[in-house]
Amino acid sequence: MKKWSGITLLLVLVMSVLAACGTNNETNGENSNGDDSSGTEAKKVLKVATSADYPPFEYVDTAKSDEIIGFDIDLAKMLADELGYELDIQDMDFNGLIPALQAKSIDFVIAGMDGNDEKRQQVVDFTEPYFTATNLVIFKKDSGFKTAEDLKGKKVGAQTATIQEKGALALQDQYGYSVETRDRVPDLVQEIKSGHLDAIVLQNVVSSGYLGANEDLTSFELPEEHKLQLSIAFQKDSELTPEFNEALKELKESGKVDDLISKWFDQ
């Protein structure tokens, strides 16, 4: 009798352990195969890179936080939300953005980048344009410059590896100035104020912020300048390009991109 009582007790203990294991699996939201039974899937995280020295497109308002903000950042987040992605936003020098795409260390770039550049088109893919801009020559008012002819013998700055550098270089022989580059836009502006550069080439929307904050600076439009078609850059043959292109088209047609333009540029 004691023998059967012992066996019965052992069976009860085994069943209790098995029941507890089953309850634990249910509590953790897993089935017997270890799969998530909650019915939700984690969003895929895309690594996006920018150069956060280009207000109002991308910059850090250090007086408020260390977060990267701006028109491009809002647009990237809006597109990601539309498509069901999360973003890991990274800051790097502008001239490192395309190499990072080529190395596949990031998924896409949004940084006020001109998608019409043929050299870039050979190594990365671009979406359709999301914004059109022009370039200005920025200089100190007491310089007395009125046209590009006045830049003869002067030093003109531009951000490294940008369409502004390309535009400045394309005209230097015609107008007789020399071109110097810097990695960051604030450095270029400081170089004008310190007298190390006589002028710089900068996109018109970006220029407005610096011109507004520095009453001693003024500008004129760069001669023979084509319109800049700002686009998002992806790895060559990326499956994300058509996906983002379609979402971008829908956001433009719905007026949401125009709303962002008003938010960041009509101030």
Q: What is the pLDDT of residues 173-193, one digit of tens each?
A: 999 999 999 999 999 999 999
Q: What is the pTM of this model?
A: 0.74
Q: Using pLDDT thresholds of 50, 70 and 90, give the confidence band for residue 12.
A: very low
Q: What is the pLDDT of residues 110-141, one digit of tens each?
A: 999 999 888 999 999 999 999 988 889 999 99
Q: Which residue ranges form the domains of the chain, and what is each CATH number?
A: 44-132+229-265 (3.40.190.10), 135-226 (3.40.190.10)
Cα separation, 97 vs 261, whole angstroms: 24
Beta pairing class for 53-54 and 58-60:
antiparallel
Average pLDDT over residues 132-159: 94
CB-based contact 211:219 (threshold 8 Å) = yes
Amino acid at 131: F
Query: What percent of the chain has pLDDT above 90?
Result: 70
Reply yes or no on whether the pLDDT at 58 is more than 70: yes
Q: What is the pLDDT of residues 201-229, one digit of tens each?
A: 998 889 988 999 999 999 998 865 557 89
Average pLDDT over residues 225-252: 93
Average pLDDT over residues 46-66: 95
Reply yes or no on whether the pLDDT at 50 is more than 70: yes
Reply yes or no on whether the pLDDT at 27 is more than 60: no
DSSP readout, the chain?
-HHHHHHHHHHHHHHHHHHHHHHHHHHTTB-TT--B-SS--PPEEEEEEE-SEETTTEEE-TTT-S-EESHHHHHHHHHHHHHTEEEEEEE--GGGHHHHHHTTSSSEE-SS-BTT-HHHHTTEEE-S-SEEE-EEEEEEGGG---SGGGGTT-EEEEETTSHHHHHHHHHHHHHT-EEEEESSHHHHHHHHHHTS-SEEEEEHHHHHHHHHH-TTEEEEEPTTPPPEEE--EEETT-THHHHHHHHHHHHHHHTHHHHHHHHHH--
